[in-house]
Amino acid sequence: HLEHHLLPGVPCYRLRRLHRLLRERGALEGVPDTRSYGAVLRAVVVQAG
């Protein structure tokens, strides 16, 4: 979903490819790769301690 906000002009059917390219090129280094909103919430709670 982050890709959509970084480059909103990219069509939705290209977002998976964009995500892969950004990962391969290190543009998402340090960005957690979460697959769901629940996973995001868990990561925030764990990080908060």
CA distance 40 to 17: 22
pLDDT over threshold 80, residue 1 = no
pLDDT of residue 3: 87
pLDDT of residue 25: 95
pLDDT of residue 43: 83
CA distance 36 to 49: 20
pLDDT of residue 20: 92
What are the pLDDT digits (tens) for 2-42? 888 889 999 999 999 999 999 999 998 888 777 888 888 88
Q: Which residues of 13-46 are buried (b: 16+ CB within 10 A; e: fewer)?
A: eeeeebbeebeeeeebeeeeeeeeeeeeeeeeee
The ranges assigned to domains in the chain are 2-48
pLDDT of residue 9: 96
